[in-house]
Amino acid sequence: MFTMTKYRQYVQKMIDSNKEVFDKFRIIHDKYCLFTDKNSLQDQYNEEGEKVMDIITEWEQRLCLQSEKAGYGSYSANLSEKFHEEIKKLFPMIDYIGLIIDEVDKDKFDIKKIELL
């Protein structure tokens, strides 16, 4: 018999409770993963991703609050990390939410040199 860890249970509950939001994000996330021109999708990805990140933050707080109430506050950071790792298994490009892409004029790009004494 397989017992699911608490953080995995919370990830599953989070997704089940917000099925429409995560289904919509899954579509844009998968497009974002496949397209080579991510710039064209970045605004839409950020917009949908913001909703997802708000939900993730809420559920992460719920999870960590439960462990802190039980007297395991020192384990909250580790628990939070495992929670995020589990989400990254489902959405590997989740860290790309919120990126702002500026187009750089290649003719004006230069690297500033420093002088070592």
Asked if the structure places residue 32 within a domain, the reply is yes
Asked if the structure places residue 17 within a domain, the reply is yes
Phi-psi region of 4 (alpha: psi -120 to 50; beta: other; left: phi over 0): beta
Tens of pLDDT, residues 42-58: 999 999 999 999 999 99
Asked if the structure places residue 40 within a domain, the reply is yes
Asked if the structure places residue 105 within a domain, the reply is no
Asked if the structure places residue 104 within a domain, the reply is no
Asked if the structure places residue 113 within a domain, the reply is no
pTM (two decimals): 0.77
Q: Are 28 and 41 contacting, i.e. CB atoms less than 8 angstroms apart? A: yes
Tens of pLDDT, residues 30-87: 999 998 788 888 999 999 999 999 999 999 999 888 766 656 656 677 888 999 999 9
Specify the number of domains making up the chain: 1
Q: What's the domain range around 44?
A: 6-96
Q: Which of 33-37, 39-43, 99-103, 108-112 has the lowest mean pLDDT?
A: 108-112
Report the distance separating Cα 41 and Cα 113, nearest Å.
34
Q: Are 97 and 46 contacting, i.e. CB atoms less than 8 angstroms apart? A: yes
Which amino acid, 106?
K
